Every structure is written in structure tokens, then in C-alpha cells.
Amino acid sequence: MFKLSIKPQWQLARGDERQLLPRVVELLVGIHETGTLAAACGRMQLSYRYAWGLLQEGHAAFGVPLVQSRRGRGAVLTPLGERLVWADKRIAARLSPVFDSLASELEVELERALSKAQGILRMQASHGFAVELIREWLAREQIPLDLKYRSSFEALAAQNAGVCDIAGFHVPLGEFELPMLQHYRPWLQPATQRLIYLATRRQGLMVARGNPRQILGLADLQREGVRFVNRQVGSGTRVLLDLLLARDGVDVHRIDGYDSGEHTHAAVAAFVASGMADAAFGVETPARRFNLDFIPLINERYFFICNQEFLDSATMSRLISALRSAELQNAIGALPGYDGLQSGRISTLGETFPELLRP
């Protein structure tokens, strides 16, 4: 089975003038993440001399330097260099789920073209970091996966319509469990569907390191000067946030940025990390990866759902076995804010959500 990877590439030019080489931005990201030009060269397998040549290309393209040499600190990014790095990180955070979905789609097409497509698992799921681990495991085990990242609502609708075999969605624990289930109810069929538990995860506020704005709760999002970046309308996380805001009596019209809409947890984290927003709401993993502070507000469970008869398929049996393995459960548990100890547990909707069966 082929493993395909699609990544964005910069192409920057001013009219017919000199273009910025794609590896210049990659080198800047390397310096930012490793701390030195030498370490970035090692990671990219570039000579020190060639790397300096790339940086000079960037200097020529913009007319200002992208790095500065400082005694004892090596190459330090200039403000423009930092802006380019964070622009690249925002692009990656926004587009990675889209590219992963496209890569999965093309992998399946290649398998079909070579007449090797057997047991393809069709999955639509709300984007999450445990789901990324599942994708990596299936690729390693040579199990063809047709994965499309969608909102929880879209994924459930697709599974209900037979467009995919398995859907991934999340449900908050506690007082908002039933209200969220009511949103999902049109696509839940307790008699024929089964749940496969994936993980519990934390959702909360992401703020800059040290919390310079002193944002302690949702009410602080109303303060003048606090910039918020939201998830897209129709996402499960946006619905959950609205439930929390309503409970706390927060006026959404007073939140600067409430009407914005990014499609992933990583994208909103990148906005905060780059200084374009002061706060965002999402899961803990990207907050830690972007070196942000995280204020936990609510726990939720992430499930896969499929029809009962699909549980007996060979592909699904292998996936469930993997979810029950110590290797995958430990990998899920290593994600900040995630707990995968019960991964792979199968239940009916009525067993997990008895309120669904109440008249």
C-alpha cells in the first residue's frame, strides 16, 4: 500500500522579480524550532554555506534581513522572519486535515488502479489528534483508509446515509451531554448502530504563555481589547462553546472575534501562538505543542460509530484489536489532555446514553 503525503509550498514573488525559494521558509521554521542555524541545517541536511545562501536569497527578495547574527546566540530571527514562520505554521494548521483527507483519497485511488483495493475502511470524522494516530497505524498495517475530516454532524450524517462505514464524533461529559446528543439525534439509530470508544479529552481556553491578558474564564472574553478566534459554524466544538457561553451568561456580541471560524484545533492554537488572537477554545494537545497555557473547562468523550453488522468485518476487527492494544492506548494517552485507557470498548447507544431511550 502506498503512503502519500501532501504539504503546502510557498511561492512568493513581486511582479516579475526574484522569487522566494520554498526552502527559505522551511529553514526559518527550522531555526525557530531548533534554536540555531547549525541545528536547522542538520535537520534539513543542508551545508552551513548553502543555508546562508538561502537566507541571503530571502534578504534579497524582501529587501530586509530574515535573521541576525548575535554573539553567543548564533542566528536569531528578525521580526519579519518570525512573521514568516508563524504564517507558515498557520497555513499548516489550517490545511493539514484537508491535505490528509486528500492524501487518503489518492491512496485509495492508487490501490484501486492497481487492483489491490480490498477491505477499504471508509471513515469520516471530526478532526482530532487520536484520529491522526489511527490514520498512522492503519497506514503502517497496510489497511487502506478513505478518510475525510468533517464536522461531527457531517460525519454522522454520512454514516447514517451509508456514505461511510464509520464516523467519529465527540460528546461532552456532564450537564451538556444530553443537549449535545439532541443536536446529534437525527442521525443516531440505537437499534442498529454501535459505539466504539476512542478517548476522553479536555477542552478549554488556549492563551499565550504566562497568560499576559489574565484570561481566567469565558467571561473574560468580553473584556475590551481581548481578541478571540473561534471554530467554524457547524463544528461540534463551536456548539459546545455556545452551550458553555449560554450557561455562563456571556454575551457573544461582546466577544471580539466570535464570528471568526477556523476549521481545526491546531489552527486556532496557531492564531494565539502567533499573536493574532489572545484566546481560543479547543483541545489541549495543540495548546501544548504551540507552547501555550491551557485553562481546562470541560471533558468530553470521542467515539466512533458504525452499524452493528460492520463490526464483524475483517477491517473493523483489526481496528478494534488495535484500539485495545497497550501500544495504541499508550500513544493516545501520551497526547496532552487525552486518556485512551478504554479505547476499543464497544457498547450500544442505549448503554452509553440511556437518556436517548427515554420517552
Q: What mean pLDDT comes out for the span 118-123?
A: 83
Q: pLDDT tens-digit profile of 257-302? A: 999 999 999 999 999 999 999 999 999 999 999 999 999 999 999 9
pLDDT recorded at residue 118: 64
Q: Give the whole-angstrom CA distance, residue 2 versus residue 23.
A: 26
- DSSP-derived secondary structure for 74-135: EEEE-HHHHHHHHHHHHHHHHHHHHHHHHHHHHHHHHHHHTT---S-EEEEE---HHHHHHH
pLDDT recorded at residue 144: 84
Q: What percent of the chain has pLDDT over 90?
A: 60
Indicate whether 100 pLDDT > 90: no
pLDDT recorded at residue 73: 60
- How far lies 243's CA from each of 41, 196, 275, 279, in Å? 48, 25, 27, 18
Q: pLDDT tens-digit profile of 185-195? A: 999 999 999 99
pTM listed for this prediction? 0.82
Q: pLDDT tens-digit profile of 178-187? A: 999 999 999 9
pLDDT recorded at residue 58: 85
Indicate whether 336 pLDDT > 70: yes
Q: Which residue has the cell 535537520?
A: 43
User: What angle is formed at CA 95 by the lines to CA 91 and CA 98, rounded to 5 degrees?
Assistant: 175
Q: Give the whole-angstrom CA distance, residue 78 versus residue 23.
A: 17
pLDDT recorded at residue 16: 60
Q: What mean pLDDT comes out for the span 86-99?
A: 82
Residues facing 57 on adjacent strands: none
pLDDT recorded at residue 33: 87
Indicate whether 206 pLDDT > 70: yes
User: What's the gap between Cα 90 and its chain centre?
Assistant: 12
Spell 262-290 as b/e; 16+ CB within 10 A means b.
Answer: bbbbbbbbbbbbbeebbbbbbbbbbbbbb
Binned at pLDDT 50, 70 and 90, residue 113 comes out as: low
Q: Mean pLDDT, the chain, as a whole number?
A: 90
Indicate whether 150 pLDDT > 80: yes
pLDDT recorded at residue 297: 98
Task: Tell me the CATH architecture of domain 94-357.
Answer: 3-Layer(aba) Sandwich (3.40)
Q: pLDDT tens-digit profile of 26-77? A: 899 899 888 888 888 888 888 988 888 888 888 888 888 999 877 656 678 9
Q: Which residue has the cell 541536511?
A: 45
Task: For 253-274, give the secondary structure using H, E and C.
Answer: HHCCCCCCCECCHHHHHHHHHC
Indicate whether 97 pLDDT > 80: no
pLDDT recorded at residue 98: 78
Write down the CATH number for the domain with range 19-77.
1.10.10.10
The structural domains of the chain, with segments of one domain joined by +, span: 19-77, 94-357
